[in-house]
Amino acid sequence: MSPPQHRPGLRAAALFCLGLLAFSLFPAPSEAREEARGRPSHMVAAAHPLAAEAGLEMLRAGGSAVDAAIAAELVLTLVEPQSSGIGGGAFLIHVEKKTGKVESFDGRETAPAGASERLFLDADGQPLGFYDAVVGGRSVGVPGLLRMFELAHRAHGKLPWKRLFAPAIRHADAGFPISKRLHRMIANAKHLDAFAETAAYFLNADGTPKPAGTHLKNPALAETLRRIAEGGAARFYEGEIAAAIAKTVTTASRNPGVMTVADLAGYRAVKREPVCRAYRGMRVCAMGPPTSGGVTLLQILGMLEGFDLEALGPGSAEAVHLIAEASRLAFADRNRYLADPDFVPQPVGALLAPSYLKRRAGQISRTKSLGQAKPGTLAGIVPTHRFAGWPESTSTTHLSVVDGAGNALALTASIESPFGARLMVNGFLLNNELTDFAFLPAKAGRPMANRVQPGKRPRSSMAPTLVFGPDGHLRLSLGSPGGPYIIGFVLKTLIGVLDWKLPLQEAIALPNFVNRNGETELEAKTALEAMAPALEAMGHRIRFRDLPSGLHGIERKGDTLFGGADPRREGIALGEKIGKMAP
């Protein structure tokens, strides 16, 4: 069967180039072509073709969206190792078609019991440099991905757990070609030669990066996956694999960490309430804390609801200005209030209250930037905590799935910075997610909400998102990597689809622009460059930079699914028709 494809090869690349040439002119949607090939009724959009195919293989076998996502993410552990994997964590938001119930699953890493709030301070009490903190055992959080998959699979899996591992084991045994992007990431990565096992896997003997096209086998990962396939997640969190992880972390030749087998055995994934709010007659649902992604995204949308973005259109400097201003205000709140809800009370209701957002939006002028925004004062909440925004770097992966029964999900998974802590064990990389904590435990005598504490989850920006239409049916599943930029990437795409009525693929390809309560950052070498003078005249400080989102998603229109894959990366959306689609 050859599925219809949304591939950011020629077609999406062409869309992107067109976007560069004429920001306000959009090519005709490609829906007619999709119709001719049959309307897809199940679909997987992921960062690598082999991962999307693995997901599709599960759907064809009668698997659910959760089954497909697990199979796809296990393949990503192998083929996109720089971004995510079983040595890291994830967030997943899911809707069950039958009941309409939206649930979210938290597989975020935790700090080991022995970690102190001084984890990232040097002997003089000064914060470590970023890479001094990242490389080695110190930054490794207790991985959460597999426990989260176990929880989600118990709730929504249809195929046997073991079956979900087959594609990843097959590819790890047979080998896969190093993609151009993986090669580039290897070539650009710092400290990939810090540890022998990692160096031997990604580098030639002379220290040069293995070239694109190199056939890479990973028998150690195949063996690891075989054991977890047979014995369940416990085979990872207890016994030999757990012992090997703890040993690798604690005996690292640089920055040995404090993780124990008890930390691994004690890890718990958590089902949490998703955060949802209305936007333009739709309902947008996202992941709540410990990620800041959902709350910040919904705050921005809430503040923008009073502005007619549709009339302004995507090529308008005023639209970019308004979106940037709302983002400043939301990021000011994010930086003050959001952290792990198990450690710091999270005023989610107050932050999303319509009256509060209306008041905050009142600070936005149509013609002049408000400059750096201050966090809002919430009734009854004493803002005793503050934290600096530590710059999370850009790695991570996002995938979306809709199955034939109409169940849908968005999954964002991460090992934090590219190649995580650079430590490899049993064929997989360990995350450096703990560097998402604030390095300073306190500032001006006040403790940071996001400081390191034993067992705590570091604040994230990941924003897997589901959107429902006025009829209650799924409209979109979406997400992206990009550290704190994730929020802006997902926001732009949502506005592209919901306000500017663009097909998802074109909304993804729109040039990126982000404001994290500082400069307005515009994607370099795009039509946004021409907009800079108008934004500067409104008081924005502008910075051009690469903003390599990795947006993947699925859009549902009527009874047809349309995929979206970011032309900036090498992902793909694969869909098939499987008879009549669930209504």
Interaction site with ligand GLU (CB under 6 A): 392-396, 414, 416, 433, 436, 460-462, 481-483, 486
Beta carbon of residue 89, minimum distance to ligand GLU (angstroms, whole number): 8
Beta carbon of residue 483, minimum distance to ligand GLU (angstroms, whole number): 4
Nearer to ligand GLU, 299 or 460 (CB): 460
Nearer to ligand GLU, 317 or 421 (CB): 421
302 SS3 class: helix
Region label for 176, one of left (φ > 0), alpha (ψ between -120 and 50) or beta (otherwise):
beta
Nearer to ligand GLU, 369 or 515 (CB): 515
Closest by Cα among 3, 21, 4, 6 to 527: 21
556, 577 Cβ separation under 8 angstroms: no
Q: State which H helix or E strand residue 223 sits in.
A: helix 219-231
Which distant-in-sequence residues (6+ apart) come within 8 Å of 517 by Cβ?
327, 328, 329, 331, 332, 335, 372, 373, 389
User: b/e for 242-263, b at 16 or more Cβ within 10 A?
Assistant: beebbebbbebeebebbbbbeb
Which distant-in-sequence residues (6+ apart) come within 8 Å of 112 by Cβ?
141, 142, 257, 258, 259, 260, 263, 454
In the chain the first and final C-alpha atoms are separated, in Å, by 24
84, 413 Cβ separation under 8 angstroms: yes
Dist CA 583 CA 581 (whole Å): 6
Beta carbon of residue 485, minimum distance to ligand GLU (angstroms, whole number): 8
209 SS3 class: strand
Nearer to ligand GLU, 263 or 436 (CB): 436
- Characterize the bridge pairing of strands 89-95 and 408-414: antiparallel
Beta carbon of residue 231, minimum distance to ligand GLU (angstroms, whole number): 29
Burial of 370 (0-12, 13-18, 19+ CB in 10 A): middle
Amino acid at 217: K
Dist CA 502 CA 112 (whole Å): 45
Nearer to ligand GLU, 288 or 315 (CB): 288
Closest by Cα among 190, 189, 174, 180 to 211: 180
Burial of 442 (0-12, 13-18, 19+ CB in 10 A): middle
Beta carbon of residue 442, minimum distance to ligand GLU (angstroms, whole number): 22
Beta carbon of residue 392, minimum distance to ligand GLU (angstroms, whole number): 4
Beta carbon of residue 502, minimum distance to ligand GLU (angstroms, whole number): 24
328 SS3 class: helix
Dist CA 236 CA 264 (whole Å): 8
The answer to whether residue 526 is catalytic is no
Beta carbon of residue 18, minimum distance to ligand GLU (angstroms, whole number): 27
User: b/e for 404-424, b at 16 or more Cβ within 10 A?
Assistant: bbbbbbbbbbbbbbbbbbbbb
Burial of 69 (0-12, 13-18, 19+ CB in 10 A): buried
Beta carbon of residue 566, minimum distance to ligand GLU (angstroms, whole number): 13
Dist CA 432 CA 190 (whole Å): 14
Residues 77, 224, 296, 396: which is the catalytic one?
A: 396
Nearer to ligand GLU, 414 or 505 (CB): 414
Nearer to ligand GLU, 248 or 414 (CB): 414
Nearer to ligand GLU, 218 or 450 (CB): 450
Nearer to ligand GLU, 149 or 419 (CB): 419
Place of tokens 């759907």: 59
Dist CA 450 CA 291 (whole Å): 11
How many helices and strands (H and E) does the chain possess? 21, 23
Nearer to ligand GLU, 255 or 395 (CB): 395
Beta carbon of residue 456, minimum distance to ligand GLU (angstroms, whole number): 14
Give the catalytic positions in this structure.
396
